[in-house]
Amino acid sequence: MIPKIRAASLMHFAQVCQNLGFQPDPILARVGFDCAMLQKAELLLPALQAVQLLEYAAKITRCPSFGLRLAEQRRLSGFGLVGLLLAHQVTLGDGMQAISDYRHLLNDITVFYTETDQQEYRIKIDVMLNATCIKTQAVELFVAIAYRFGAELIEQQWRPTSVHFTHSEPADISYHQRFFQCPVYFNSDFNGIVCPESARLLKNRKADAMLVAHAKQLLEPLAQPRQRSLTDEIKQLFFIQLPAGRHHIDWIARYLSIKPRTLQRKLTELNISYQALLNEVRREQCIHYLQNQEYPVQRIANLLGYYNANSFTRWFSAEFGMTPSQYRQGLSVHATDHLNDAV
């Protein structure tokens, strides 16, 4: 299945381009889109082309904050019925959990996961494309949308302690600093938002249990046909848990609340290899990390669940026919195209 994304995610693309002094049509044409398509909020667009569009637009307009500017235009009303459900959740934690539960109705590529310890409430977000391409703007777009959602839900109570991105710091981060109004860290181990642990219990003054129940009832017929597959759920967990080294089947089965043998049996019935799914995620993420020159190979190895760089290098060479260092030396459009062809 080709991953899709709702056109609503790009609805304000033309406005952002024009605000930057550029006409949107030639930029959209680069990936086969046009302005009329983006005004049909529920139209499902190929996600890979949408992600490539954002990168191309940021490059052409010389605007490293393009994704943030797009997010700035979004409102919960633009999320349709899902927006109604999200807007009336009782607490911030309930709202973020609802995004995780219903994200498959918004697009097929968002990885969204929350975790809590005694001090922090972390909202982790990523983009899962099953393709080795640059996705900086898409990641920033989705993190920024989550940030704006928190601000809409609990208003002045929304005070994250930091925002994190795995990609390198752009030359100008003034827009990032204005948008997030908290420290922004690049070259991090994850993409997302960090809040105090107590933030997840902060109340939404617009909470309405009856409206939430009504929205759930209306969404039920839509949710069932588009439930995320088991393989997508596993890959999402890989995206989140690989940096912590928790990618063994025992860990993943625990997160899915099933026994490892049951998980293995389900995959066998689907004729899918657990290791093949792990490889798909590692391929996508390793190229993303290698594009950031600030990441030493050892750190990338650790982020992909390898204990040492040698093991990672052997795996990378087997997958791509070159070493990580050779990839970095030839990092260019041609090198990226070569790897895309290899996917």
Is 190 within 8 Å of 127 (Cβ atoms)? no
CA 297 to chain CA mean position, Å: 23
**pLDDT tens-place string over residues 166-211:** 999 999 999 999 999 999 999 999 999 999 999 999 999 999 999 9
195, 153 Cβ separation under 8 angstroms? no
Answer for the pair 101, 110: CB distance below 8 angstroms, yes or no. Answer: no
Instruction: Indicate the class that CATH gives domain 230-342.
Output: mainly alpha
Among 51, 53, 43, CA closest to 80: 43
Q: What are phi and psi of 5, to 5 degrees?
A: -140, 140
Average confidence (pLDDT) over 96-116: 91
pTM of the model: 0.86
Residues 55-79 have pLDDT tens digits of 999 999 999 999 999 999 888 878 8
The two three-digit tokens of residue 207, written as one number: 């909470």
Q: In what order do the strands lie in the sheet with 120-127?
A: 110-116, 120-127, 192-196, 162-164, 184-185
Ranges of each domain in the chain: 67-209, 230-342
Q: pLDDT digits over 305-315, tens only?
A: 998 999 999 99
Q: Which residues pair with 114 in a beta bridge?
A: 123
Tokens for 219?
């969404």
